[in-house]
Amino acid sequence: MSTGTPASAEVLSKYEAVIGLEVHVQLLTKTKIFCSCSTRFGDPPNSNTCPVCLGLPGALPVLNREAVTMAMKAALALDCAVNPRSRFARKNYFYPDLPKGYQISQYDEPLAEFGRIEIEVDGARKRIGVTRVHLEEDAGKMLHEGFADSDSRSYVDLNRSGVPLIEIVSEPDLRSPEEAYDYLTRLKTLMLYLEVSDCNMEEGSLRVDANVSVRPAGASMFGTKTEVKNLNSFRFLQKALAYEIERQVEVLEGGGTISQETRLWDSREQKTHGMRSKEFAHDYRYFPEPDLRPLAISEEWKEEVRRSLPELPQARRERFVREYALPEHDATQLTATRELANYFEEVAKATGEPKLAANWILSELTFLLNEANRDISQSPVSAPNLAGLLVLIQKGSISGKMGKEILAAMFASAKTANEVMAEKGLEQINDTERIIAVVREIMAANPKQVEQYRGGKTATLGWFVGQVMKATRGQANPPLVQEILKKELS
Amino acid sequence: MALEEKDVRYVAALAHLELGADEVKTFLPQLDSILEYIQKLNELDTTQVEPMAQVTYPSRENPALRSDQPRRTFGQDESLANAPEGAAGCFKVPQVIERE
């Protein structure tokens, strides 16, 4: 453990962290990877099981084609080379969540290799290598707490046994917790765009382990690494990495050495703990899975999958900047999920005002969504309805301030802007007589400005329009106001 | 003899087998003779032969892939039917803390 004296920023800066991430992503197939049991989350324990995923003797696995397709989508989107032939292997170990006594995974011949993800570090692009993407089955779930006999018994639910996973392994290219966070964010966004996973960390469909080591800044040799597990949120990832880096620096500064081990992040204590000493070293005795044929990926299949890929986040972000003249920052935020990007594009197209659309979506609408703890796909204000509101604002029919009020009401009621305005008595004034009356009143109260206008300073027209709109609480029809003003002023 | 008694004990531990000292002595020559036989195979020159792990290797197509259609199989009761101990729809096992 640590030597007790916390490493100062100065001491920390003498070291460089080296981080690699192993990310497990649960695929969104309807059935498990090697049997036809449902993958639905939250069903009663052990109700989605069969001889294959219970590991009963004689049962044979049959590979799910869709799992391969989804894994291939992820691999291609990560710029990996998909191997024309890959192979499944048995990873042997004993644990009650693994009824067969081995996990079917891939080992020396993975589905895909040599990919990358581009992250951003201090405004510059940095390429993080993806070593490999491979397919494997998930294990069941252990319940260690919550039962009367939990002090002596563990409970096992095998619904998750056999759910398809891909493991995405990065190169040790990450140099800080922030870089790791950015990498994981982009990886998650990519998986969401591809619709191959819901990446729900609480339900365990996105899991992260990190390999961490430190070395003197500028050194080329790697230090001894530890593997940090139990990083089940983005926040934990950053905290755990920061903690582990500091811990390793403290050990080295204190003259100690890092022992290669697996450590668990304890979010309550905000510490990593070494796991209990193992009875023996890892020895998974991998060997080729004799019950499955090697997996052959034809060029045709691969190209078919490639053609099915949607526009990916980075390409879409760049297009948003180019096509809609959005600032980089807006484009990044708007492309965080496919749903949000679609929503934006619908509003931008319907209004012809992309920047206005971006502003309202990223500020007012996001605020309302956050407050209601909803995401964009659950927005009570549909894209056409938001567009309808923005058109009114853009035409000057209503002020921005009124727009905010109306949007809040639209959010609460799921009604259109016009419906809300009618209900609140905010509908537009199209009555010529009423507007003439207001115009004459304003002219009478501002003889100097009338004089200026008549003297040729026609630019003051805008000021008059503003005064009329103010007097009618933004309800007067602006083009009509202009028309009447011109007539009355001349 | 290439194998030593500690190798036998290691393999047994991986398989969660508890062997007595006598048994270690019994199995040592048996395991060793298997390895010796495999060593004999190594005398063949296989440098020009593609490694083969399955008899169907190599293959260009995957005739046996399954479509992603759920089918109802076991329910809770059936799943647990052979379990020595179960409760709350779960298998029960002696308490275990963590893997590895």
Pairwise CA distance, residues A103 & B12, whole Å: 20
Please give the C-alpha separations between residue A87 and each of A29, A133, A257, in angstroms, as whole numbers. 21, 13, 38
- The residue in chain B having the minimum alpha-carbon distance to the alpha carbon of residue A276 is B98
- Residue range B35-52: average pLDDT? 87
Number of CB pairs < 8 Å for A and B? 155
Chain B residues whose CB is inside 8 A of the A292 CB are: 54
String of DSSP letters for A400-442 = HHHHHHHHHHHHHH---HHHHHHHTT---B--HHHHHHHHHHH
Contact A94 B16 (CB under 8 A): yes
Consecutive H or E run containing A214: strand A206-216
Pick from A64, A156, A275: CB nearest B98: A275
A102 or B59, which is more confident? A102
Residues in chain A closer than 8 A to B67 (CB atoms): 64-66
Distance CA(A152)–CA(A154), nearest Å, equals 7
Which pLDDT score is estimated for A280? 45
Amino acid identity at A24: H
Residue A167: C-alpha distances to residues A22, A137, A206, A439 (Å): 7, 10, 10, 70
DSSP string, A279-315: SS------EE-TTSPPEE--HHHHHHHHHTPPPPHHH
So what CATH class is B5-42?
A: mainly alpha
Nearest CA in chain B to A157: B90
The model's pTM is 0.81
pLDDT in the model for residue B58:
58
Question: Could you give the C-alpha distances from A301 to A83, A249, B65, B86, in angstroms and in order?
Answer: 12, 49, 13, 45
Contact with chain B for residue A277, Cβ under 8 A: no
The answer, yes or no, to whether residue B57 has pLDDT greater than 70, is: no
Supply A442's token pair: 């304003």
Residues 72-111 in A contacting B (C-alpha not used; CB under 8 Å): 85, 87, 92-97
Is the CA virtual torsion A382, A387, A390, A392 positive or negative?
negative
Half-sphere exposure of A56 (CA within 13 A, CB side): 15
**3-state SS class at A357:** helix
Which residues, 6 or more positions from B10, have their beta carbon under 8 angstroms from its beta carbon? A280
Instruction: Identify the three-state secondary structure at position B6.
Output: helix
What's the rounded Cα separation, in Å, for the pair A289 and B4?
29
Is residue A275 within 8 angstroms of chain B, CB to CB?
yes
- Domain spans of chain A, in order of start: 9-301, 311-424, 432-489
Chain B contact present for A125, CB below 8 A: no
Please give the single-letter amino acid code of residue A317. R
In A, minimum Cα distance to B71 occurs at A36
State the best of A263, A293, A297 to mutate against chain B, taking most chain B CBs within 10 Å: A293
Using CB atoms, which residue from B16, B68, B80 is nearest to A30? B68
Q: Closest approach of chain A CAs to the CA of B82, in angstroms? A: 10
Is the preceding peptide bond at B84 cis, omega within 30 degrees of 0?
A: no
| Position B55 pLDDT exceeds 80 | no
Interface check for A47 against chain B (CB to CB < 8 A): the answer is yes
Contact A31 B70 (CB under 8 A): yes
Helix A65-77 × helix A177-194 angle, to 10°: 130
How far away is chain A from the Cα of B17, in angstroms, using its nearest Cα? 12
Q: What is the CATH number of domain A432-489?
A: 1.10.10.410
Structure tokens at A382: 């549909």
Edge-to-edge order in the sheet of strand A88-92: A102-106, A88-92, A287-288
Query: Among residues A163, A169, A167, A137, which one has the least CA distance to residue A24?
Result: A167
pLDDT along chain A (490 residues), means of 10: 64 93 97 97 94 96 97 98 95 92 96 96 93 98 90 94 98 96 94 94 92 94 91 89 95 92 88 67 85 92 96 93 94 92 96 95 96 93 95 81 90 91 77 90 92 87 88 80 89
Output the pLDDT for position A176. Answer: 96
Under 8 Å CB-to-CB from A283, ≥6 apart: which residues?
B14
CA distance A70 to A309: 10
Asked if B58's CB is within 8 angstroms of A156's CB, the reply is: no
Tell me which chain B residues have a C-beta less than 8 angstroms from the C-beta of A87: 53
Give, in order, the Cα–Cα distances in Å from A362 to each of A71, A233, A335, A356, A408: 32, 24, 11, 10, 15
Predicted ipTM?
0.87
* pLDDT at site A323: 96
What's the confidence (pLDDT) of residue A28? 97
Judged by CB atoms closer than 8 Å, whether chains meet at B60 and A142 is answered as: no
At residue B33, the pLDDT reads 93
Q: Do B64 and A65 touch (CB under 8 A)?
A: no
Closest to A64 (Cα-Cα) out of A94, A86, A89, A32:
A32
